[in-house]
Amino acid sequence: MKNILFTLTTFLSLEDKLKQCIHCLKSIEKYEPNLKKKCYILVINECGKINGQFLKKEFPWIDKIIDKGNRKDKTGKKCGQASSLNICISYLKKKQFKYWLHWEESWLATRPFLQLCLDAMKMNIDCIQISEDDGHESIQRLHTPHNRYIFIQSIPDDFKINCKSNFKKSCCKRNKNQLKTKSKKIKQHPRCKECYHKKCDDKWWPLWSLRPGMDKKEKVLSIGYFNTDPKFWPVHFELEWAYNWLTQPGGVTKGLSICTKRQEKHISLSDKNI
């Protein structure tokens, strides 16, 4: 039984994204031609005019493509990056999955990555990032059973995102009702957004990232869904989720081993909207 959920989120209707998505899939196919044997492969295409079903003809190893633009939703609640990630989490809740391998169309595979990710999970690493580092310090190098190296990333010891105000806890900390995927109604406090902009070091970031990597299912489900409120897009919906992931009971261990690279001419939507 396939116990890995592989997801690729894309926005085919944006300029150059269709080309990037095809290059991305070809690179994955090149280095992991047998990915389908161990992964259920899900592609989620953001709301737009381009239907992504044609990708299955060129890449028949894709199990399912969700075109969010095909759904009639006048409120637009199914549109947006946070909504796509919540679809991934809903799939991850299925019993057969143990791990979530997530990807974005702007990243190209540069070498085999699946066995490395599985080795990391078996070595009690909760999250292995296979893209360039987010700026965290590496504190240990581990040798894998298949002759690869994983660098353990350090947890920041200064949680500057903890807003010093009248709140006893961090303004980004979720309450019990918002954890463990019980609800999609995440009420993020406005100060969580303000803190990142005004009071916190903007170079600080929790260990979790949307960049390509594999996560243990239980560590993801223990936090729940992403906040879909447009007020917290871009950046802040991810920051809030990542903070709660990092500070969850029992802690987390993150590793790094680069197996991907950004495609040329990539422009981050988050950078354009901050």
Concatenated DSSP letters for 38-107? Answer: HEEEEEEEPSSS---TTHHHH-TT--EEEEGGGS--TT-TT-SHHHHHHHHHHHHTSTT--EEEEEETTE
41-45, 121-125, 191-195: least confidently modelled range? 191-195
| 232-266 tens-digit pLDDT | 999 999 999 999 999 899 999 999 999 999 998 76
Strand order in the sheet with 99-104: 64-67, 39-45, 4-10, 99-104, 213-216, 127-129, 254-256, 149-153, 138-143
| d(C-alpha 8, C-alpha 21), whole Å | 9
| 51-96 tens-digit pLDDT | 999 999 999 999 999 999 855 544 456 899 999 999 999 999 999 9
Q: Using alpha carbons, list the distances in angstroms from residue 192 to 79, 120, 122, 162, 254.
A: 23, 32, 34, 8, 23
CATH architecture entry for 4-268: Alpha-Beta Complex (3.90)
In our burial notation (b when 16+ CB lie closer than 10 A, e otherwise), range 175-189 reads eeebbebeebebebb
Hey, how many other C-beta atoms are within 10 angstroms of the C-beta on 210?
Answer: 18
Question: In 3-state terms, what secondary structure has residue 268?
Answer: coil
Helix, strand, coil tally for the chain in percent (to 5): 30, 20, 50
Domain locations along the chain = 4-268
Mean pLDDT over the full length of the chain = 88
Whether the CB-CB separation of 195 and 161 falls below 8 Å is answered with yes
- Would you say residue 216 has pLDDT above 90? yes
Residue 118, C-beta contacts closer than 8 angstroms, at least 6 positions apart = 99, 214
| d(C-alpha 39, C-alpha 32), whole Å | 11
Which pLDDT value is given to residue 196? 66
Q: Which two structure tokens, joined as six digits, stand for 86?
A: 């919540």
Which pLDDT value is given to residue 4? 98
Q: Which two structure tokens, joined as six digits, stand for 87?
A: 């679809």
Q: Using alpha carbons, list the distances in angstroms from residue 237 to 16, 82, 92, 247.
A: 25, 7, 19, 16
**pTM higher than 0.85, yes or no?**
yes
| d(C-alpha 188, C-alpha 79), whole Å | 19
